[in-house]
């Protein structure tokens, strides 16, 4: 009997103690936390500000969702310890954003929260900043994206038309290989920012019978063009005159000379037997056309991307509002053209042609037959 009574008293006391402890804990919790279930997170006075932005992250849209990312056991301590940290936290529901070959550094480092807010945002895609480019400029220097020769998709802040913010299979975070990327927009005629018509680059690339400039054929657009705004004409990687006529200086053609180191010589000497193939005997025709006060620029004769004629020679060039045909014909040791600038003329490296046209006085002396013969034997080899 006694034993039984003692057992009952003990059980009652224990039960009372346990209940009391529960009440104490609950009370303590209530004081510290002001809420008792995760279900009321958003509506509670503490987090009343949440859920008011334009875009709510779906799991943070209801009180129940809080516990998906936050440790509920921390309730009593008012802790916001995360179940696990980004990016693993995010990859529970989202596909791996760093699964491609080239990973954007902040993504590789799991810094999802350097661009995204976890709960809600007034900006699309839960971005921290109101515009895509502004988001990029939190880490990349905005000043390097300004220049007097703009590129519309960059100026309009459409960085992600060309770059993946996460990871890609192409270098420089590009969404596609360079050629495909550029031709996706440059597949038709369009106007530049000054209203000048730009011919379709895709047509130049795939046109029938086109002989392409080698780097263009290989799709190396960015060997010649900067993709982002700079000050150079057509965002070329070096200077290149915009006009048809200009007084010659080596610096003004640094763009072409970057790759064609050897051709520089052709614009330095009025007579040559090796500096260029564009010569009549030793009379350097590159020099005669280009190296003068009102020299013709390369584009008077050469196309930049490709042409139907050998040597990238144009079909025609525009002069004022007229288009003048060049009618270039290549021969084994020279060529001929019949532009509107002068009557039909021929040049030949081995046996110089006698063109009956009036010209400015020639510098230097003609090569003697012996020298010509030697240089032509060299050319044949």
Q: Toward ligand HEC, which CB reaches closer, 140 or 373?
A: 140
Is 303 within 8 Å of 314 (Cβ atoms)?
yes
Minimum CB–partner distance for residue 274 and ligand HEC (Å) = 10
Name which of residues 1 to 40 contact ligand HEC (CB under 6 A).
Answer: none
- Say if residue 86 is exposed, middle or buried (CB neighbours under 10 Å; 0-12, 13-18, 19+): middle
| Tokens representing residue 372 in the block | 């010509």
Start-to-end Cα distance in the chain: 125
Distance CA 361, CA 338 (A): 21
Is 73 within 8 Å of 82 (Cβ atoms)?
no
58 binds ligand HEC (CB under 6 A): yes
63-83 in b/e burial notation, b at 16+ Cβ within 10 A?
A: bebbbebbeeeebeeeeeeee
323 binds ligand HEC (CB under 6 A): no
186 binds ligand HEC (CB under 6 A): yes
Binding residues with ligand HEC: total (CB under 6 A): 127
Distance CA 17, CA 46 (A): 32
Is 61 within 8 Å of 51 (Cβ atoms)?
yes
Distance CA 135, CA 128 (A): 7
124 binds ligand HEC (CB under 6 A): yes
- Say if residue 322 is exposed, middle or buried (CB neighbours under 10 Å; 0-12, 13-18, 19+): exposed
Name which of residues 152 to 171 contact ligand HEC (CB under 6 A).
Answer: 152-154, 157-163, 165-166, 171
Q: Toward ligand HEC, which CB reaches closer, 61 or 366?
A: 61
283 binds ligand HEC (CB under 6 A): no
From the list 35, 168, 221, 372, which residue makes contact with ligand HEC (rule: CB under 6 A)?
221
291 binds ligand HEC (CB under 6 A): no
Q: Toward ligand HEC, which CB reaches closer, 237 or 366?
A: 237
Minimum CB–partner distance for residue 67 and ligand HEC (Å) = 8
Minimum CB–partner distance for residue 196 and ligand HEC (Å) = 7
Kindly give, in sequence order, each residue whose CB lies less than 8 Å from that of residue 340, ignoring residues fewer than 6 positions away. Answer: 319, 324, 325
Is 363 within 8 Å of 270 (Cβ atoms)?
yes
206 binds ligand HEC (CB under 6 A): no
| Tokens representing residue 124 in the block | 């699309």
Minimum CB–partner distance for residue 148 and ligand HEC (Å) = 9
Q: Which of these segments, 1-9, 18-26, 65-73, 368-376, binds ligand HEC (CB under 6 A)?
A: 65-73
362 binds ligand HEC (CB under 6 A): no
Q: Toward ligand HEC, which CB reaches closer, 207 or 219?
A: 219
314 binds ligand HEC (CB under 6 A): no
Is 229 within 8 Å of 235 (Cβ atoms)?
yes
Name which of residues 238 to 277 contact ligand HEC (CB under 6 A).
Answer: 240, 253, 255-256, 258-260, 263, 266, 276-277
229 binds ligand HEC (CB under 6 A): no
Distance CA 19, CA 63 (A): 28
Q: Which of these segments, 11-19, 53-61, 317-325, 360-368, binds ligand HEC (CB under 6 A)?
A: 53-61
Q: Which of these segments, 12-20, 23-31, 211-219, 353-361, binds ligand HEC (CB under 6 A)?
A: 211-219
């Amino acid at each position: 009997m006694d034993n039984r009574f003692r057992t009952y008293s003990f059980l009652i006391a224990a039960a009372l103690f346990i209940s009391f402890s529960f009440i104490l804990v609950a009370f303590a919790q209530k004081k510290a936390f002001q809420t008792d279930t995760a279900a009321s997170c958003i509506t509670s006075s503490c987090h009343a500000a949440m859920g008011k932005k334009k875009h709510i992250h779906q799991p943070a849209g209801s009180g129940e969702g809080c516990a998906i990312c936050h440790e509920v056991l921390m309730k009593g301590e008012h802790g916001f310890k995360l179940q696990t940290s980004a990016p693993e936290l995010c990859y529970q529901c989202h596909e791996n954003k760093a699964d491609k070959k080239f990973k954007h550094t902040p993504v590789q480092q799991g810094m999802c929260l350097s661009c995204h807010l976890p709960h809600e945002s007034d900006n699309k895609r839960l971005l921290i900043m109101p515009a895509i480019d502004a988001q990029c400029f939190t880490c990349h220097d905005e000043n390097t994206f300004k220049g007097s020769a703009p590129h519309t998709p960059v100026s309009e802040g459409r960085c992600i038309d060309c770059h993946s913010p996460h990871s890609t299979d192409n270098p420089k975070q590009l969404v596609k290989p360079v050629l495909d990327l550029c031709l996706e927009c440059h597949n038709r005629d369009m106007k530049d920012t000054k209203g000048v018509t730009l011919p379709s680059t895709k047509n130049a690339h795939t046109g029938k019978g086109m002989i392409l400039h080698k780097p263009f054929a290989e799709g190396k657009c960015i060997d010649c063009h900067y993709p982002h705004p700079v000050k150079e004409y057509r965002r070329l990687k070096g200077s290149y005159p915009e006009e048809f006529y200009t007084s010659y200086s080596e610096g003004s053609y640094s763009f072409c000379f970057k790759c064609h180191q050897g051709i520089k010589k052709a614009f330095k000497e009025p007579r040559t037997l090796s500096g260029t193939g564009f010569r009549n005997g030793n009379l350097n025709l590159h020099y005669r056309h280009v190296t003068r006060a009102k020299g013709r620029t390369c584009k008077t004769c050469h196309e930049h991307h490709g042409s139907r004629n050998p040597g990238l020679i144009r079909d025609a060039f525009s002069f004022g509002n007229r288009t003048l045909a060049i009618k270039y014909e290549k021969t084994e040791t020279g060529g001929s053209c019949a532009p509107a600038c002068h009557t039909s003329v021929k040049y030949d490296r081995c046996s110089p042609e006698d063109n009956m046209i009036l010209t400015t006085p020639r510098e230097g002396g003609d090569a003697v037959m012996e020298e010509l013969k030697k240089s032509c034997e060299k050319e044949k080899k």
